[in-house]
Amino acid sequence: MTDLRIRPGDPDKKIRIYVNGQECPAFQGETVLAALTAAGKKSLRKSRQAKEPRGALCGMGVCYECLVAIDGVPGWRACQTEVRDLMEIEIDES
């Protein structure tokens, strides 16, 4: 599995999140986008009209390109949302 973390995360802060049902490592305090990026997941959704794959652009809450569904609720900005233990994230990688 891809791991783009620069140094190993703090084991005390390790939590479990699920991405499309698969367990994915994450650490308290980081954003959903950070956890997804660390796991090499870039395609997050489809664009509204052309239905083309999209992923994060601005990383700071401005562009709304990184919208994902969290615990069944769509429309969360991955870059502005912090991970929580047992969080279920849905992305459209197809």
Partner 1 sequence: MSPEPCQVAVVGGGLAGIIAAAMLQKNGLKVLLLDENQGLGGQYLRTHPPLPSGGGHFLPRLGAGHMRELAEKGVETVNRAQVLAISPAREILAEEDGQRLFTLRPEAVLLAPGAREKFIPFKGWTLPGVISTGAAQILIKAHGVLPGREMMIAGSGAFIYAVAAEVLANTGRVRAILDHNSLARKIEFAQGVLTMRHKLAEGLGQVARLLLARTPIKNRTRVLEARGDGRLEEVVTTKLDRAGNPLPGSEKTYPCTCLAVGNGFVANLELGQLAGCRLEHNPALGGWIVGVNQEMETSVPGVFAAGEITGVAGAEKSVTEGRLAALCVLHRLGRLSAQAFSDRARPLRKERARQLAFARRFNALHAVPAGIVNSLPDDTIICRCEDITMGEIREAIRGGCRTPLAVKRSARVGMGICQGRTCASFLYEMIAAHTGVPVSGQEVLSVRSPVKALGLGTLARPLERF
Q: Contact residues for partner 1 (CB under 8 A)?
A: 4-7, 9, 29-31, 33-34, 37-38, 42-44, 47-50, 52-65, 75, 79-80, 82
Buried b (16+ CB within 10 A) or exposed e, 1-40: eeeeeeeebeeeeebebebeeeebbbbeebbbbbbbbbbe
Return the number of the residue (18 or 55) whose C-beta is nearest partner 1: 55
Q: How far is the CB of 25 from partner 1 (least distance, A)?
A: 11
Structure tokens at 69: 């569904």
Structure tokens at 66: 């990184």
Return the number of the residue (17 or 38) whose C-beta is nearest partner 1: 38
Q: How far is the CB of 18 from partner 1 (least distance, A)?
A: 19
Q: What are phi and psi of 33, to 5 degrees?
A: -60, -40
Return the number of the residue (82 or 86) whose C-beta is nearest partner 1: 82
